[in-house]
Structure 1
Amino acid sequence: MTTPTPKQQLNTQFALIAQALASPQRLEILDYLAQTERSVEELSQLASLSVANTSRHLQTLKQSALVNVRTDGKRRLYRLAGDDVVQLIASLRRTAELHLAEVERLAHTYLTNKAEMEAISAEELLARIGRDEVTVLDVRPAAEYAAGHIPGAIHLLPEEVAERLHELDDSKTIVAYCRGPYCVYSFQMVQALRGHGITALRLQDGLPEWKAAGLPTQTTH
């Protein structure tokens, strides 16, 4: 048997990462872990998988060095191995958007009025924050907001808009962000705010991409 060349051996290692990502369930798990660390049981509920199946997916991700695990009492908590994993998935997403027509079709079907929902980049949002021109809303679940959010962001869910409208400064543009570019919550928030006559935009990406770019975040203790 011919001994693999060093390049072939390297490609074998690279393929381990590709194989770990070749599962929609594992990509979904990574999306949830990009927000905050979670237990097997939490991920099982979020991804609508059995605990045993979730555990198997996590072992594959761990063996590929995409996630780490720590013990907290009787619980095992999983988290991404690093922000580079977020960047890897973002690169995968961009390549799919460029070369797979089905991605764009699904996005327009899944995200109502996507074309009408103007988005701004992280760099532009940071500049507007510096000029005190915007109110930033984090529309993810409370636990994810507490684990890390854009400094000064208000936690508000789309279904709470009507009762908490008085808390918002309507003299400023409101920018909503979520888990990522395909997270429906930010689209729902912009729709809800515009329904009340408020100028609203969404962040192009989500909190994981913001953090991976080295931009500031804060936690709620």
Structure 2
Amino acid sequence: RYFLADPSITRLWSALRRVAKNQLADLGPALDRYRPQRHRFTRITPDELHGWMQRDEAVLIDVRPVVEYKAGHLPGSISMPIDNLSEHIAELPKGKTVVAYCRGPYCVYADQALELLMDQGYPVARLEEGVAEWLEEDYPLET
């Protein structure tokens, strides 16, 4: 287990992922085999998320460990770490789409959370990007 609790580490992690993606042609297909449910969920962009949040159509959950959430999280997100998400599902409104995010496109925490939420009847979507990509686009974080 690891934590990305410092913005400089988050930027380094993001840069390493980009290098791997650009240099390893087999990375995408390998990840698709590793995460078969990857394309099962609606995937949204930061701009789409912003619109949904402005129209009060979604609730945004951060499924990373609490230490990472405290280091910086997307504005308006609620900390619901994957390790204890099942204990807090009842706190989520049923009438809104639950959008989950974690460390980025290769993090399985969001997929696991969405699977659990779908099983409970929640409409779900995945913010494909994580905190590192959010920062790269110059979007703000809350602490």
1:188 aligns with 2:112: yes
Decide which of 8, 12, 15 is 1:80's aligned counterpart.
Answer: 8
The answer to which structure, 1 or 2, has the higher relative contact order (CA under 8 A, 6+ apart) is: 2
- Partner deviation per Cα, 1:145-177 (whole Å, 9 max, x = no partner): 011001121111334333222210111111000
Provide TM-score, normalisation by structure 2. 0.85
SS of 2:36 mapped into structure 1? coil
Query: Does the 8 Å contact 2:63/2:81 carry over to 1?
Result: yes
Please name the residue that 2:134 is paired with.
210
Equivalent residue number for residue 70 of structure 2 = 146
**Which of 167, 173, 191 is the matching residue for 2:97?**
173
How many residue pairs get aligned? The number is 142
- How far apart, in 2, do the equivalents of 1:81 and 1:144 lie? 11
CA–CA separation in structure 1 for the residues paired with 2:116 and 2:91: 15
Question: Does residue 19 of structure 2 align to residue 92 of structure 1?
Answer: yes
Unaligned runs of 5+ in 2: none
Q: Which runs of 4+ in 1 moved over 4 A?
A: none
Which of 38, 52, 58 is the aligned partner of 1:134? 58
Relative to the length of structure 1, the TM-score reads 0.57
Q: What secondary structure does 1:113 align onto?
A: helix
Larger radius of gyration: 1
- 1:200 and 1:145 mapped to 2: Cα distance? 20
Identity of aligned residues (%): 32
- Displacement after TM superposition at 1:104 (Å): 2.5
Going from structure 1 to structure 2, the CA distance change for 1:170 and 1:121 (only over 3 Å counts) comes to: same
Q: Indicate conservation of the 8 Å contact 2:72/2:141, yes or no.
A: yes
CA distance in 2, matches of 1:125, 1:113: 21
CA shift in 2, pair 1:105/1:205, >3 Å: same
1:103 partnered with 2:27: yes
Q: Which runs of 5+ in 1 are unaligned?
A: 1-28, 38-78
Q: Indicate the SS of the match to 2:126.
A: strand
